[in-house]
Every structure is written in structure tokens, then in C-alpha cells.
């Protein structure tokens, strides 16, 4: 039952995010747009590239979807409304998202096309740049909650949300999350201007639909993770718990999806430089700072 | 897809077809920049642009299709997933493409009507059963080179046969696999067989050796395969897999390779087995997998990194037992540079369970060229254009990529200038039109150029008010052209907001009278101020595509580098209007953006000062004879035209355009750069491939 409810809300969320994304790209708010696009994609031929690595080509999008769904499994929407409340939830989220990298490299390599391959390699090159900035802020969150369980992490914020408690971690986490779901301005693996679609370039029809859906799920999973870790999850007055989760997740996802249209894409080298030289030291500093606060000030 | 549909569609098909008719994704030929310059608001007509033909269902063609783009357009059409359609605007031949499904004149109204037709065509004809398959003619034959003596030697480039040294000869081969999927693949247009030959070309010698010994070691399959004319395929990992046709291994999915390349691995296998055997008998020494210099007699942990030591076998000890096949098959490895550094420890250190040099980067990349960063990687040639979304349309750019860094460039225009004069005697009016049609991105500047040259040849002068109004027209074009560039930069950099705003302004300003331009002035100012304040913009452009100021640079590119060169400064009318040359300092992509923004302001001021706009038309040429020469600063730099007029007809003409210089700059801007930076640099030149002279 819980699984059904979560999957249903996931579907609704993915649809709403797709509406937002189409608004960000096309500049018009058309609520029916994603349904039309999805139907149209299903009607189109799903081409196979000329000499593909068939296994990787077919598996990439599906693995991406699986990675996203696994990550969603540990996001609590309300007390009890979580697919599985693992004792190691925060770590599990991280492990599930590691497959995003694998899936993208597979999708990039599979079609045997240069644009896709470079897109996949770009993402591999960014691995440490975003992955460290996902893990290290989570470490600081976990420090405060003294638990890896995502439910405990939410309840640990009852007096003060983590966005106020550790704003630095929040900023780093959101930036890294956008890199992980390759949203503009960090859409380097797909970069329409550099790579004409990159890892997505050779996918058409149903396979492309799966790829897009998988990406929506990953965006929602990461927005959910942001809300869980920093915005107090389901906590909030007046409204029911699930409504707070839903509202917060949609706002975060909406901001992540639409922010990129206002700025140019970040250069690959610049992104790596910032993440390694600035992001990682800041994240370490954040862990230290939170550690000190946890010891000194009981909030 | 035109005509009565065959049979009836099911409900589901109807629904999907209706959805497809409302989700029109276009791939524009020659490109969005030309569409904008022609005044088409594609987004406004409900046409979403896609970056690749793979994601498009409509090929939008702005006709006539230039001859140089016909092949590329047919390939793009072939790449589109079915159901697909063609929408042609304007009139003219579509070359090898099938007939258009919807057509219209080259105007916004024409586009809107054609879109309506197109929607109907898609909604009713998407699932027709009699749709013909389409294969791009250019993909049906493939040029390749082969040795007259060794037909198995096939490569894409001319050269000598690696086996006998003879010069390879050209042949055209039919492409067997599905045409139309020729996206820039890693090994473009190559069937599996050829592909393997190429990748293993560097190891041919080793293969021959391995082959002999492979045979001696009872690898009957391999030997058999070689002696037979028919090539057999086998898996590099599973020698028991033998297939008569190329394909992938049922066990591991790897590409099957022709059997004779396999025998090198047979040699490896033989040695491998032996290694194991020897290790079982006397695992005398132990070493660290990370630090080969650590060798000791007892098992334990590495003193350097703490890893568990693994048993070793030194090649020297073993050499007595070595079979021919093992040492031969391993010939490859003993050349390794790795070995030299560890020479003091005797010989090759072999770790049990790991094939020597297995996935060794040093080995894999030994014979590969290194680019400036010193990292050796496999170089690939990747074609960009002529329809690449981040580049000016019509530009054919081939980049040699070393990883994602550009190691080499080759660029040319697919749509360059052809004969300037179609006939010996062209009337002045026809000549002006012809010159305007040369460059779809800046027709007004070229008509002005033609008028000025004609009038000079006829020794005519126009009234000052007309001359001023013409200048205003040229300045309006400069303004719109720069907005067009800004929109293109927006596309390239994924800066959607800028792309939308700049496109909207370009479309509005293109034919706007002075009053409207004055009304739009605050909007223009707001946009330009907002651009300068965009976060991440500086980081994106600073230091990219920097060009040292020298004489070869054209127009805004030169001025962005601090060279105050502008053909307008020699024009007395401009001087009257108070024109001064505007320059920037850095000469990089950021400076070029700033420069163009500054020039937009300047053009705006000039137009408002003149207060009237008139399109250039030749005045009072009559039946004059003479020669004339004129220079006009086009949005991309100074263009010079000289012509001869005889009895009122143009008999000879010669033009110099600024864009020829741009092509030469591409290598300077792109070489050694990361792919994205290289493309940003090339984009910042704002070149117009249409004006490149052959």
C-alpha cells in the first residue's frame, strides 16, 4: 500500500516537474504538454544506432530508472509513508545514486556515437566533483541526527531545520544534486550546444521516453533528499504531513529545474575546479563546524 | 505521407497520431540563425526546435536548399525516427530529399499555414502502411581504400598496405547496414569487420607471430580460419565461440573479431596457463600489487601500503620452461616501457591471476599521439555541422578530439559564395538583389555595398537624406544581426532566457520603422544591462578564444581586441552623425560579447539620430560605363566590392568579404581547448559561412 501511494505520488510529481521543465524550455505553461510529448514519443520509432553495444544501449535508460526508484525508496513523505525505513537510509540513497553514473556512461557508450561517448565521459570526469559534495554534506546532517535513518534525520530537525542549522551544507548539496541530475547550468553530459544532446542524442521513441522519465524520477529523488535533509521533511504547521512533503519537494524540484535557464552553462573545467578546490574544503569545514555546534550548543 | 490514408487506424493509433501532430519538433535546415534572419518565429508557430535530428519529427527546410547542404540534409532526414515529415518554406529544389509534406512561402504567415497543413498530415497519415523507406543517396556508397593484393586490408584513408607496402586503391562499396544512421559514430560508416581490422592495425605484426605459434599449440580453429578464404569470427575472450558472421559473443556480448586476430590471445592464453602451473609448484616470492619493487620470500603485507602481498613468478626463473608460444605471444609485453624502470628486479613481474599488462594504460596507448596536455588517448575525428545547434549553420567543422580536448581542426563552408555574376551582363537592380541574396544573415549591408559601388561607377551621388536613411537601414541590420548572434550564443550556452529575449527583439527590430525602434529602446537597454550582470557569464567567456590583435582580424573581432578599425570612420556621413569607433580591450569571447552589446547601443543611437530608414536601391545608373569600388562595414567586418559597369550593365565584379578571415581563425581559437570552450570560441567569432569565398 505504502509502495503504491509513494509510486503514485512519484508519478504525479514527475508530471508536475515535466510541466515546469517544459515551461522553462519553451517559455509557456502548458499543463497537457508532458502527456502529449510522452504519447508522441511512444508513437515514434525507437531507432537502434548503427553498430551499438546493444547490451549497454538497452540497459542504460532502465538502470537509470532503477537507480532513481531505489533512491526514492528511502525518502519519507510522512511518518510511516516511506517504502523502507532503513537504518542506513542516508547511505543507501548515496549508493543508489552511484548507479546514475554507471547508467549514463552506458547510455553514452552504447550507441557508438561520439557525442554520446563524450557526454558519458564528461559525467565520469565529474564524478568526484559532485559525489563528494553529496556525501560530505550528508555526513554533517547525520552528525546532528546521530542516525543514518532518513526518518530520524527529519525528526532531528523539529526544533530547527537544517537549512538554518547548516546553510553551507545546504548550498553545496543542492549544487551537487543539480550536477548529479545534469540539470542546467550543469547539463554537461547532454549539453545541446556542445554535444547536440550528448548521452541522450541517439535515443528515440520508447527508449528516449524511459530516459526522460528516469531523469524526472532522479530529480524528484534528489529534491526529496534535499527536503528530508535540510527542509524538515514533512514537518510544518496546519497542513497534513504528506502535503508539506509534497509542497516542499515540488518547490525544490521546480527551482532546480528552472534556475538553469537564467544563466549560461558552466564550463566543464570551471565546474571541476570549483568543486574540487572550493567545494570539498568548504564541505569539510561544514562537517567540522556542525561537529562543534553539535557538541557545544544543544538544539 | 500525403494522400488518402490506407485502411483505418485503431483508437490508440489515432490518439498517438493526434499527440504527435501537437508535438512538433523541428530540425531546421540550414539553421535557426537563418530562420531568424528571415523573420521566422518558429517557437511562435508552435515548432519546438531540437538539437539533433534524432529527436525531431519534422525537417524544416528554408528553400532553396543550397547544393552544398543537400547531402547533409538527406542524412539528417534519414536519421529522424519515423513518422517524419518535411516542411519546406520558400520555393526551390529539395535535392535528394523526398517531396515536402507541407509547403508555404518564406514568411511567418506562410509558416503558420504550413504548420496547420503539417498537423493534419501527421494526424491522418502517421501510421500509413505504404510509406516508402528512405535512404540518403550519399550513404548508399562508401569510399574506402584497399590493397590490390590483400583484399582484407580496408581503410578509410589512402595510404600503403601494411602487409606489402603497395599503394592502396580506391573503391566504392555498398553500405550494408541501415542507411540514415550516420550520426558521427566513433567509427563512422564502418561495418563490424572493418572496424576490427582498424583497431588492431597497430598489432598486425604481433598477430602474425602469435598466429604461427597458436597453430602449433593446437588452436586448430584459428589456423583453419586463416587458411580458408572465408573469414570466421570469434570472441576475444571466449575462443570456443566461432561464428561465420560478425556479431557479438553470446557469452559476454563483445564484438566478435576475425579469427586470425584472435590467435594473439591464444598465445597469451598458453602462457597464462603455464604461469599458473608454475605458481602452484613453487610460489617462492611475494610482491605487492601496487608496488612491484616490494618482493619478499614470505607472504605478508606491503610495508608501503599495507596491502596483502601476492605470489609472484619472475620471468627469468621461468624462462627455461617457457614455450615458444608464450614468449612470442608475449612479445608485445616485453617491449613495455614499464619493464625498463624495473629492470633491477630481473624481469617482468607477473602477478598470479592477472594477465601481464592487462588493461595497462601504458600498453594501450603506447603508439598513440599525445596532445599538448601530454595525456595519451585514442583520438577520434568528430564532424560538427553543417547543422550543429551551437555553430553557425553551413559551417562544416571536423574536430580531432583527444578525449574531450581539441587536437586538430579542419573547417570549411558548405554554403560559400559561388559565381558573383551569373551572366556577363547583369542589370544593376538584378545585381543588387543577387548580392543581397549572397548572405541571408546580412542582406542589407550587401545591397548597400552594391549600390555604393554602382553609383561610384556611374559617377552618381544620392541626396544626403537618402544616404543617411540607407545608413540607418544598415545600422538596423547591424543591431538585429548582433541580437541574432546573442540568440545563437544563448542556444550554444544553454542560456534559454537570453535565447528567447534576443530572438524576440531580433524579430521585432528586423523590419521595424524608427518609431517602433525608439519605443523598443528601453527594452533593448534593459536586456543589455541584464546580460552584463548575468552570474556565471564572465566565468563562461573570460579568456576563451583570445586573439592577439593583428591586421588579419575582421570587424567586431578586431575591435574587441582593441584595434580601432572600422570602415564607417572613413564615411563623412557617419562622421557628421558623430560616430566614433568603439573598442574593447581583452580580445576574448567576453570582450566580443561586450563589444557587440556596445555596438547595439551605438547603432540604436545612430538610427534615432537619422530618424528615417530607407532600403538601399541603385540611383540613376542609366547607361553609364565605368568602374567603381566601395567598402561597407557589415555586421561582421568590412566588405569591399569592385565592379565594372558597361552601358548600364555590370560586366565584372569582385568581392572581398570579412568571413574568409574567420575561417582561418578557427584553428587558433579551438586548438588545445576543451570541446565546449572551443565551440564557444568559434561561436564568438560570429562568422557567416555564406560569405566565405571559395
Sign of CA dihedral B527, B531, B534, B536: positive
The strand pair at B310-314 and B349-351 is best described as antiparallel
- Quickly state the pLDDT bin for B236 (edges 50, 70, 90): low
List phi, psi (to 5°) of B31: 170, 170
Q: Do B537 and A264 touch (CB under 8 A)?
A: yes
Q: By three-state DSSP, how is residue B384 classified?
A: strand
Report the residue of B183, B189, B672 to disrupt the A interface, i.e. the one with the largest count of A CBs within 10 Å.
Answer: B183
Q: Are B562 and B579 in contact (CB under 8 A)?
A: no
On chain B, the residues whose CB falls within 8 A of the CB of A18 are none
d(CA B154, CA A43): 40
Lowest mean pLDDT segment, chosen from A63-67, A268-272, B296-300, B469-473? B296-300
The beta strand positions in A1-55, using DSSP E, are: none
Lowest mean pLDDT segment, chosen from A80-94, A181-195, B10-24, B358-372? B358-372
d(CA B60, CA B30): 9
Largest CA distance in chain B: 105
| CA B126 vs CA A7, B8, B14, B28: distances in Å | 33, 11, 9, 21
**B281 pLDDT above the threshold of 50:** no
C-alpha cell at A259: 534556475
Residues 76 to 115 of A: which have CB under 8 A from any B CB?
A: 111-115
Average pLDDT over residues A191-214: 87
Q: The complex's ipTM?
A: 0.89
CB atoms within 10 A of CB B575: 12
Average pLDDT over residues B503-513: 91
Cα of A274 to nearest chain B Cα, Å: 11
Lowest mean pLDDT segment, chosen from A156-165, A173-182, B298-307? B298-307
The strand pair at B242-243 and B233-234 is best described as antiparallel
Q: Do A184 and B494 touch (CB under 8 A)?
A: yes
CB atoms within 10 A of CB A229: 28
Report the residue of A178, A267, A278 to disrupt the B interface, i.e. the one with the largest count of B CBs within 10 Å.
Answer: A267
The rounded radius of gyration (Å) of the Cα atoms in chain B is 32
d(CA A27, CA B46): 12
Q: Are A40 and A190 in contact (CB under 8 A)?
A: no
Question: What is the chain A residue with the closest CA to B189?
Answer: A50
**A291 pLDDT above the threshold of 70:** yes
**B684 pLDDT above the threshold of 50:** yes
Q: What is the pLDDT of residues B136-184, one digit of tens each?
A: 666 655 567 777 777 777 777 677 777 777 777 766 554 443 333 334 4
Residue among A43, A46, A202 minimizing CB distance to B16: A43
Residue among A49, A125, A268 minimizing CB distance to B181: A49
- Quickly state the pLDDT bin for B351 (edges 50, 70, 90): low
The strand pair at B48-49 and B25-29 is best described as parallel
Residue B373 confidence (pLDDT): 65
Q: Are B468 and B610 in contact (CB under 8 A)?
A: yes
With CA atoms as reference, report the closest residue to B177 among B165, B186, B167, B190.
B190
Size of interface A-B (CB pairs under 8 A): 185
With CA atoms as reference, report the closest residue to A245 among A254, A232, A257.
A232
Lowest mean pLDDT segment, chosen from A167-181, B79-93, B152-166, B169-183? B169-183
pTM tops 0.80? no
Enter the DSSP assignment of B285. Answer: E
Q: Are A169 and A283 in contact (CB under 8 A)?
A: yes
Residue B126 confidence (pLDDT): 63
Residues 51 to 70 of B: which have CB under 8 A from any A CB?
A: 51-52, 54-55, 57
Residue B209 confidence (pLDDT): 33
Amino acid at each position: 500500500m505504502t509502495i503504491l501511494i509513494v509510486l503514485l505520488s512519484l508519478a504525479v510529481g514527475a508530471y508536475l516537474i515535466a510541466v515546469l521543465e517544459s515551461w522553462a524550455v519553451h517559455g509557456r505553461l502548458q499543463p497537457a504538454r508532458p502527456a502529449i510529448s510522452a504519447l508522441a514519443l511512444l508513437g515514434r520509432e525507437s531507432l537502434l544506432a548503427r553498430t551499438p553495444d546493444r547490451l549497454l544501449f538497452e540497459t542504460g535508460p532502465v538502470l537509470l530508472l532503477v537507480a532513481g526508484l531505489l533512491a526514492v525508496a528511502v525518502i519519507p513523505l510522512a511518518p510511516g509513508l516511506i517504502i523502507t525505513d532503513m537504518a542506513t537510509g542516508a547511505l543507501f540513497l548515496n549508493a543508489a545514486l552511484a548507479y546514475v553514473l554507471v547508467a549514463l556512461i552506458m547510455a553514452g557508450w552504447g550507441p557508438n556515437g561520439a557525442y554520446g561517448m563524450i557526454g558519458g565521459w564528461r559525467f565520469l570526469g565529474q564524478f568526484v566533483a559532485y559525489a563528494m559534495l553529496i556525501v560530505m554534506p550528508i555526513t554533517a546532517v547525520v552528525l546532528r541526527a546521530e542516525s543514518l535513518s532518513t526518518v530520524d534525520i527529519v525528526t532531528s530537525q523539529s526544533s530547527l531545520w537544517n537549512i538554518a542549522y547548516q546553510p553551507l551544507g545546504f548550498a553545496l548539496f543542492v549544487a551537487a544534486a543539480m550536477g548529479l541530475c545534469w540539470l542546467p547550468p550543469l547539463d554537461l553530459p547532454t549539453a545541446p550546444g556542445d554535444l547536440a544532446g550528448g548521452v541522450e542524442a541517439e535515443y528515440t521513441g520508447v527508449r528516449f521516453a524511459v530516459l526522460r522519465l528516469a531523469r524526472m524520477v532522479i530529480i524528484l529523488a534528489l529534491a526529496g533528499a534535499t527536503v528530508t535533509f535540510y527542509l524538515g521533511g514533512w514537518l510544518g504547521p496546519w497542513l497534513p504531513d504528506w502535503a508539506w512533503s509534497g509542497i516542499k519537494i515540488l518547490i525544490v524540484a521546480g527551482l532546480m529545474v528552472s534556475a538553469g535557464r537564467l544563466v549560461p552553462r558552466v564550463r566543464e573545467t570551471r565546474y571541476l575546479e570549483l568543486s574540487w578546490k572550493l567545494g570539498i574544503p568548504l564541505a569539510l569545514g561544514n562537517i567540522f563546524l556542525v561537529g562543534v555546534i553539535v557538541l557545544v550548543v544543544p538544539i | 505521407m500525403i494522400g488518402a490514408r490506407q485502411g483505418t487506424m485503431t483508437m490508440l493509433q489515432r490518439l498517438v497520431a493526434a499527440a504527435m501532430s501537437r508535438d512538433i519538433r523541428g530540425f531546421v535546415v540550414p539553421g535557426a540563425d537563418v530562420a531568424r534572419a528571415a523573420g521566422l518565429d518558429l517557437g511562435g508557430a508552435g515548432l519546438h526546435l531540437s538539437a539533433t535530428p534524432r529527436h525531431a519529427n519534422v525537417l524544416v527546410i528554408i528553400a532553396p536548399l543550397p547544393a552544398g547542404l543537400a547531402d547533409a540534409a538527406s542524412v539528417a532526414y534519414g536519421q529522424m525516427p519515423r513518422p517524419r515529415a518535411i516542411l519546406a518554406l520558400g520555393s526551390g529544389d529539395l535535392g535528394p530529399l523526398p517531396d515536402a509534406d507541407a509547403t508555404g512561402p518564406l514568411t511567418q504567415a506562410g509558416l503558420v499555414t504550413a504548420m496547420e497543413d503539417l498537423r493534419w498530415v501527421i494526424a491522418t497519415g502517421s501510421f500509413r502502411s505504404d510509406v516508402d523507406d528512405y535512404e540518403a543517396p550519399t550513404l548508399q556508397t562508401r569510399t574506402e581504400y584497399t590493397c590490390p593484393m590483400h583484399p582484407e586490408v580496408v581503410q578509410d584513408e589512402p595510404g600503403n598496405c601494411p602487409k606489402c607496402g603497395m599503394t592502396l586503391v580506391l573503391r566504392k562499396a555498398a553500405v550494408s547496414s541501415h542507411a540514415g544512421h550516420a550520426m558521427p559514430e566513433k567509427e563512422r560508416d564502418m561495418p563490424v569487420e572493418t572496424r576490427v581490422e582498424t583497431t588492431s592495425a597497430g598489432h598486425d605484426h604481433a598477430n602474425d607471430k602469435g598466429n604461427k605459434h597458436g597453430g602449433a599449440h593446437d588452436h586448430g580453429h584459428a589456423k583453419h580460419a586463416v587458411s580458408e578464404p572465408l573469414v570466421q569470427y570469434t570472441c576475444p575472450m571466449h575462443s570456443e565461440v566461432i561464428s561465420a558472421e560478425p556479431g557479438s559473443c553470446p557469452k559476454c556480448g563483445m564484438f566478435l573479431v576475425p579469427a586470425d586476430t584472435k590467435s594473439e590471445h591464444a598465445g597469451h592464453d598458453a602462457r597464462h596457463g603455464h604461469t599458473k602451473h608454475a605458481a602452484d609448484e613453487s610460489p617462492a616470492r611475494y610482491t605487492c600489487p601496487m608496488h612491484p619493487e616490494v618482493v619478499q620470500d614470505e607472504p605478508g603485507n606491503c610495508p608501503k601500503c599495507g596491502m596483502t602481498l601476492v605470489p609472484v613468478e619472475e620471468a627469468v626463473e621461468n624462462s627455461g620452461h617457457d614455450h615458444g608460444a608464450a614468449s612470442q605471444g608475449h612479445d608485445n609485453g616485453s617491449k613495455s616501457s614499464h619493464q625498463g624502470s624495473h629492470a633491477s628486479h630481473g624481469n617482468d613481474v607477473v602477478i598470479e591471476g592477472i594477465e601481464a599488462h592487462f588493461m595497462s594504460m601504458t600498453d594501450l596507448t603506447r603508439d598513440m599521439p599525445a596532445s599538448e596536455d601530454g595525456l595519451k588517448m585514442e583520438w577520434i575525428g568528430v564532424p560538427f555541422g553543417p547543422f550543429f545547434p551551437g555553430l553557425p549553420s553551413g559551417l562544416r567543422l571536423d574536430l580531432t578530439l583527444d578525449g574531450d580536448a581539441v587536437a586538430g581542426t579542419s573547417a570549411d563552408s558548405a554554403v560559400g559564395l559561388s559565381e558573383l555574376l551569373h551572366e556577363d551582363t547583369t542589370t544593376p537592380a538584378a545585381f543588387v538583389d543577387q548580392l543581397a541574396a549572397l548572405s541571408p544573415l546580412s542582406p542589407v549591408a550587401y545591397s548597400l555595398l552594391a549600390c555604393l559601388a554602382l553609383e561610384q561607377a556611374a559617377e552618381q551621388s544620392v541626396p544626403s537624406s537618402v544616404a543617411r536613411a540607407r545608413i540607418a537601414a544598415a545600422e538596423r541590420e547591424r543591431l538585429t544581426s548582433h541580437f541574432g548572434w546573442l540568440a545563437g550564443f544563448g542556444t550554444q550556452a544553454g542560456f534559454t532566457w537570453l535565447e528567447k529575449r534576443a530572438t524576440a527583439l531580433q524579430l521585432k527590430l528586423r523590419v521595424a520603422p524608427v518609431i517602433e525602434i525608439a519605443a523598443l529602446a528601453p527594452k533593448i537597454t534593459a536586456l543589455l544591462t541584464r546580460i552584463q550582470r548575468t552570474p556565471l557569464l564572465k566565468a563562461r567567456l573570460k579568456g576563451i578564444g583570445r586573439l592577439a590583435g593583428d591586421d588579419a582580424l575582421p570587424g567586431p573581432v578586431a575591435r574587441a581586441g582593441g584595434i580601432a578599425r572600422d570602415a564607417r570612420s572613413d564615411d563623412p556621413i557617419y562622421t557628421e552623425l558623430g560616430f566614433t569607433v568603439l573598442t574593447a580591450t581583452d580580445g576574448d569571447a567576453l570582450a566580443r560579447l561586450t563589444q557587440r552589446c556596445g555596438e547595439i547601443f551605438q547603432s540604436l543611437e545612430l538610427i534615432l539620430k537619422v530618424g528615417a530608414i530607407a532600403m538601399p536601391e541603385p540611383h540613376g545608373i542609366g547607361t553609364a560605363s565605368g568602374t567603381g569600388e566601395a567598402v561597407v562595414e557589415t555586421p561582421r567586418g568590412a566588405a569591399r566590392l569592385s565592379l565594372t559597369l558597361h552601358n548600364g550593365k555590370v560586366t565584372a565584379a569582385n568581392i572581398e568579404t570579412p568571413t574568409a578571415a574567420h575561417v582561418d581563425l578557427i584553428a587558433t581559437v579551438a586548438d588545445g581547448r576543451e570541446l565546449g570552450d572551443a565551440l564557444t570560441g568559434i561561436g564568438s567569432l560570429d562568422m557567416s559561412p555564406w560569405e566565405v569565398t571559395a
